[in-house]
């Protein structure tokens, strides 16, 4: 227990309060800890409501990157702020016992305005806005952003009747005013009131330390709520509420989907015995979808705005939700991959030095052979995710670099012997083999997979494109002769893009999410 656990957190008062609770619990268990406050995009951009920023995970992305860079060991979040699908390599390590789940109305003077035709209520939440307008359709909603303290000050300084807060937030830091009532009729955000800890999937010590803090009942309920959100959301930001609780060995669930203006509302309730609840989220999401939920979400999602960004790789639904509201993005796979059969004779003896630059090569090898059959002494690869896949399916990686050129430069200085076996595609656009051969290192190329260009012609409204490999650039150029801003995942891709486009930009971190962040920075 000598390792000091570095606790990453946002630097707001509420976030620090939550992080200190985790710190206290870990120290009571005998662990050494250190707080590492980090400022997030969500704290810096306060001129628009959260839903207008078009980003899920706005309060978590900075901490995710810090964790993947090994600057922190765990991150503490309000679970309602966390995307339903975590980044690769990061897991939910624990959920603490849940606090107050309710939304709370803080009002001025008295509550008489609730019976009046006109009133002004402040909130930055699309879910709260929709539910309030559903109940009080003649009231006016004004946007409210900032941390809990600043929002209370804004309420005091403005001519509003009230503002809506999470009861847990104002309660935890002891600033709940007397002029406040819980809105028990308002269905909270999925996982509202719960504190969650994330950690790296590969860090067994940290996972074991956090597991002791996990509250099983809270974990069960919040998992159902978040699964309901995930299955229902369908790629659009919509007003969705969900709450599950356990009583008498039964799980009670209620969920809601509304139109942003509150004029349409679809509710669902469900009760299942504990242990028989595993299909509850799916059942409830299907119930809502079948009763007009799909049509409602399609209406929210579709608009007459024209596409201005095209991605050469299909997005997951959670990735799609990361875009700013000014970005209208479409995506499709510009590259099709076909795995080759690798002849056994090529692998009959142990290979001293192996080079792998893509996950496709890993998939080809492991589709053909078991890890025991892949006798590689030294494995060199490109990219953190490729490395993780290699070590999960084949064996230990000796060294990894961010791109093929840097790996080639490393091998020139440090390789054992003068020969490498390179598992590659039939379309090879990187310089690694040329650099090695120019430095008297023999390269045995084995075609592990085939890459087929499958680009589509994009609309004239498209101003920029997102590229994830040199081959996606070439595929785009074959189908389009238009000038675009090229947002690239790494330097190797950017090098090829510069042959075709004047404005080429490279993401800070080699992930799809980082390329999306680069796009958002341009359009905000």
For residues 253 and 379, membership in a common domain is answered with no
Does residue 189 belong to any structural domain of this protein? Answer: no
Query: Tell me, what DSSP letter sits at residue 291?
Result: I
For residues 90 and 200, membership in a common domain is answered with yes
Residue 477 sits in a domain of what CATH number?
A: 3.40.50
Residue 292 sits in a domain of what CATH number?
A: 3.30.160.40
Of 32, 121, 88, 84, nearest in space to 320 by CA: 84
Does residue 209 belong to any structural domain of this protein? Answer: yes
Q: Quick one: pLDDT at residue 40? A: 57
Does residue 166 belong to any structural domain of this protein? Answer: yes
Does residue 188 belong to any structural domain of this protein? Answer: no
For residues 461 and 408, membership in a common domain is answered with no
For residues 107 and 52, membership in a common domain is answered with no
93: Cβ–Cβ under 8 A, 6 or more apart, which residues?
Answer: 74, 197, 198, 199, 206, 207, 210, 211, 214
Domain enclosing residue 356, as ranges: 337-453
Does residue 361 belong to any structural domain of this protein? Answer: yes
Query: Tell me, what DSSP letter sits at residue 88?
Result: T
Options 81, 103, 318, 430, the catalytic residue: 81
DSSP letter string, 404-455: HHHHHHHHHHH-SSSEEEEEEESS--SSHHHHHHHTT-EEEEEEEEEEEE--
For residues 416 and 475, membership in a common domain is answered with no
Of 401, 520, 429, 403, nearest in space to 466 by CA: 520
Does residue 480 belong to any structural domain of this protein? Answer: yes
Q: Quick one: pLDDT at residue 54? A: 37
Does residue 56 belong to any structural domain of this protein? Answer: yes
For residues 483 and 403, membership in a common domain is answered with no
Please tell me whether the overall predicted TM-score, pTM, comes out greater than 0.75 for this model: no
pLDDT, tens digit (0-9, with 9 covering 90-100), for 305-335 = 688 999 999 888 778 878 887 888 889 999 9
pLDDT beneath 70: ranges in the chain = 1-2, 39-59, 234-237, 302-305, 429-430
Q: Quick one: pLDDT at residue 233? A: 74
pLDDT, tens digit (0-9, with 9 covering 90-100), for 116-136 = 999 999 998 889 999 999 999
Q: Quick one: pLDDT at residue 322? A: 86
Residue 351 sits in a domain of what CATH number?
A: 3.40.50.10090
Other residues' Cβ atoms within 10 Å of the Cβ of residue 76: 26
Does residue 142 belong to any structural domain of this protein? Answer: yes
81 is catalytic: yes
Token readout for 402 is 């961010």
Residue 208 sits in a domain of what CATH number?
A: 3.40.190.10
For residues 174 and 201, membership in a common domain is answered with no
Q: Quote the CA–CA distance of 474 and 455 in Å, as a whole number.
A: 9
For residues 152 and 13, membership in a common domain is answered with no
For residues 208 and 71, membership in a common domain is answered with yes
Place of tokens 């509003």: 160
For residues 77 and 200, membership in a common domain is answered with yes
For residues 60 and 11, membership in a common domain is answered with yes
Q: Quick one: pLDDT at residue 302? A: 58
* Number of domains comprising the chain: 5
pLDDT, tens digit (0-9, with 9 covering 90-100), for 398-430 = 999 988 889 999 999 999 889 999 999 887 766
441: Cβ–Cβ under 8 A, 6 or more apart, which residues?
Answer: 411, 412, 415, 418, 419, 420
Share of the chain above pLDDT 90, in %: 65
For residues 115 and 151, membership in a common domain is answered with yes
Beta strands 442-453 and 419-425, pairing class: parallel
């Amino acid at each position: 227990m000598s390792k000091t656990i570095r606790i990453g957190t946002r630097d707001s008062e509420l976030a620090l309060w939550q992080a200190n609770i985790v710190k206290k619990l870990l120290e009571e268990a005998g662990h050494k800890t250190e707080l590492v406050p980090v400022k997030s995009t969500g704290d810096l951009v306060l001129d628009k409501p959260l839903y207008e920023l078009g980003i899920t995970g706005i309060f978590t992305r900075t901490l995710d990157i810090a964790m993947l860079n090994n600057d922190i060991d765990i991150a503490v979040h309000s679970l309602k702020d966390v995307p339903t699908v975590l980044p690769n390599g990061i897991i939910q390590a624990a959920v603490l016992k849940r606090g107050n789940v309710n939304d709370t109305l803080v009002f001025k003077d008295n509550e008489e305005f609730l019976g009046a035709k006109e009133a002004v209520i402040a909130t930055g939440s699309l879910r709260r806005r929709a539910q309030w307008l559903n109940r009080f359709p003649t009231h006016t909603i004004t946007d409210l952003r900032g941390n809990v303290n600043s929002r209370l000050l804004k309420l005091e300084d403005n001519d509003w009747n009230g503002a809506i807060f999470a009861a847990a937030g104002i309660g935890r830091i002891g600033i709940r005013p007397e002029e406040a009532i819980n809105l028990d009729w308002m269905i909270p955000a999925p996982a509202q009131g719960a504190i969650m800890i994330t950690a790296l999937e590969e860090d067994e010590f940290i996972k074991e330390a956090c597991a002791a803090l996990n509250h099983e009942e809270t974990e069960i309920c919040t998992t159902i709520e978040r699964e309901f959100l995930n299955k229902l959301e369908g790629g659009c930001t919509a007003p969705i509420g969900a709450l599950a609780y356990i009583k008498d060995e039964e799980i009670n669930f209620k969920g809601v989907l509304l139109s942003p203006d509150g004029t349409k509302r679809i509710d669902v309730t469900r009760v299942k015995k504990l242990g028989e609840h595993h299909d509850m989220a799916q059942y409830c999401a299907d119930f809502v979808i079948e009763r007009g939920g799909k049509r409602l979400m399609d209406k929210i999602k579709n608009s007459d705005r024209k596409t201005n960004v095209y991605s050469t790789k299909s997005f997951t639904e959670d990735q799609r939700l990361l875009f700013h509201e000014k970005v209208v993005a479409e995506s499709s796979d510009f590259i099709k991959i076909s795995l080759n059969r690798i002849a056994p004779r090529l692998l009959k003896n142990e290979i001293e030095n192996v080079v792998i630059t893509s996950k496709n090569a890993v998939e080809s090898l492991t589709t053909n052979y078991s890890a025991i059959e892949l006798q590689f002494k030294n494995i060199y690869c490109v990219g953190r995710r490729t490395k993780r896949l290699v070590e999960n399916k084949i064996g230990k990686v000796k060294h990894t670099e961010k791109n093929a050129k840097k790996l080639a430069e490393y091998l020139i200085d440090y390789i054992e012997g003068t020969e490498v076996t390179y598992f590659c595609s039939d379309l090879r656009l990187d310089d690694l083999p040329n650099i090695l051969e120019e430095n008297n290192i023999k390269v045995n190329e084995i075609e592990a997979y085939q890459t087929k260009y499958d680009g589509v012609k994009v609309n004239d409204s498209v101003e920029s494109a997102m590229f994830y490999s040199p081959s996606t650039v070439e595929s785009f150029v074959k189908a389009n002769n238009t000038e675009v801003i090229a947002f690239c995942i790494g330097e190797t891709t950017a090098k090829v893009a510069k042959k075709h486009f004047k404005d080429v930009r490279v993401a800070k971190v080699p992930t799809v999410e980082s390329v999306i962040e680069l796009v958002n920075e341009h359009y905000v």
